[in-house]
Structure 1
Amino acid sequence: MILNFFDQFTSPCLLGIPLVLISLLFPTLLLPSPTNRWITNRLSALQLWFIHLVTKQLMLPLNKGGHKWALILVSLMTLLLTINLLGLLPYTFTPTTQLSMNMALAFPLWLATLLTGLRNQPTTSLGHLLPEGTPTPLIPALILIETISLLIRPLALGVRLTANLTAGHLLIQLISTATTTLLPILPTVSALTALILLLLTILEIAVAMIQAYVFVLLLSLYLQENI
């Protein structure tokens, strides 16, 4: 029974062919594509408003040099948001519950921000490893600690997204299983657990949106340190 709870995190396959690529590309097909019409429909207008809002929030803490990353960050935000929200639907697979995928997103982007800083302003980027005014005996220890904290950033990005979504999916499956099991035995308790399930689903929708925003926001903050 315990193993069945984790079957939802298994990568889907059809005739031995992994379907992860389809699950990654399918959300983009649901987004309306821009047209040449002067007056767009409500869905396109809502999408443009959302993209404008996200771009404004992400570019606010960045200097002009970081605005070149607007397309990458907004596209990543849209991808994570759609995947996380669609993953809450029944009989769906959420690719962002896989640590391998989240690390594949976090590590190259973090490395790109780090290399950007080392190329444009190496002295300032390396200066982040040693806080100003540090006593001389503490310099080796602080450099080691700051280096470890710098290298652990992509791992923290990937694990944070994976852990939050995985925990939410497990809680939803546990409570939904309890609701269906208690229905013929204790209908009153089953109704109470169904109410808890509804509240938890609303919470998970908020978590899916917040975690996508936090992932991209932290990347933008890492970028701000290196431009």
Structure 2
Amino acid sequence: MTLSLFDQFMSPTFLRIPLLVLAMILPWLIFPNPVPQWRASRLHALQNWGMNRFIYELFLPLNIPGHKWAAMLTSLMLFLISLNMLGLAPYTFTPTTQLSINMGIAFPLWLATVIIGMRNQPTQSLGHLLPEGTPVLLIPILIVIETISLMIRPLALGVRLTANLTAGHLLIHLISAGTLAILSMLPPVAALSMILLLLLTLLEVAVAMIQAYVFVLLLSLYLQENV
């Protein structure tokens, strides 16, 4: 049976039972349990410092009402980092390479920002659809264009996360397959390929964290327009 390179991004099954839910729950097992002390160890102190810096930088340009989203967006970033990093371990599966999963996360959060804007400041939210000083003849066209750009935001969030992770995993898969094929024929070239594969893996770790941060950062920018 001929396998496609994209088969590695299919949801794995065991006894015909999808393991997608297990793959999404498993990363939470690596997080330390909460403790009654404010700082129980150096690890907790480092985690608290990192989360405080992230929340400060992310919510600095937001108004006070937008700060209510701090806990949810911080949890979302940790969750996405865990899912993105999960696929770098052997014999595992990355749920965020599935567009349906990413869209299921992006669309409700984007819709929540739009609903908040329509409820709290409908005039300003609708004003984004038509720039000030637009000629009368261009008003219908610009309204249609801005509406399409608004509706395409969740799709851009999901596709960006899916495409970046899929491209990196495919490149790692291709280089590792080529290294294995030339290992017996050209050991020096295979050794160089292994070094390249190691560097690419480190780059993919950085991409996994950066893409989670960019996902949350874009959501915060959408929120900033509606609070």
**Into which bin does the TM-score normalised by the smaller protein fall?**
over 0.9
Structural mapping, 1:73-222, within 5 Å: 73-222=73-222
Partner of 2:46: 46
Give the count of matched residue pairs.
227
Question: Cα deviations across residues 116-154 of structure 1 (Å, max 9, x unaligned)?
Answer: 000000000000000011111111111110000000000
Q: Is contact 1:11-1:19 (8 Å) kept?
A: yes
Cα shift at 1:89: 1.2
Alignment gaps of 5+ in structure 1: none
Partner of 1:20: 20
Question: Cα deviations across residues 59-104 of structure 1 (Å, max 9, x unaligned)?
Answer: 1121101001111100100000111112211111000000000000
Partner of 2:62: 62
Three-state SS of the structure 2 residue aligned to 1:6 is helix
**Structure 1's 148 and 22: CA in aligned 2 closer, same or farther, altered over 3 A?**
same
Cα shift at 1:13: 1.3
Distance 2:39 2:72 in 1: 27
After the TM superposition, list the runs of 4 or more consecutive aligned residues in structure 1 that deviate by more than 4 angstroms. Answer: none
Over the residues paired in the alignment, what is the CA RMSD in angstroms?
1.4
1:182 partner amino acid: I
Q: Is contact 1:130-1:142 (8 Å) kept?
A: yes
Alignment gaps of 5+ in structure 2: none
**Structure 1's 2 and 77: CA in aligned 2 closer, same or farther, altered over 3 A?**
farther
Q: When the two structures are superposed, what TM-score results if normalisation uses the length of structure 1?
A: 0.96
Residue identity (%): 66
Cα shift at 1:3: 3.0
Q: When the two structures are superposed, what TM-score results if normalisation uses the length of structure 2?
A: 0.96
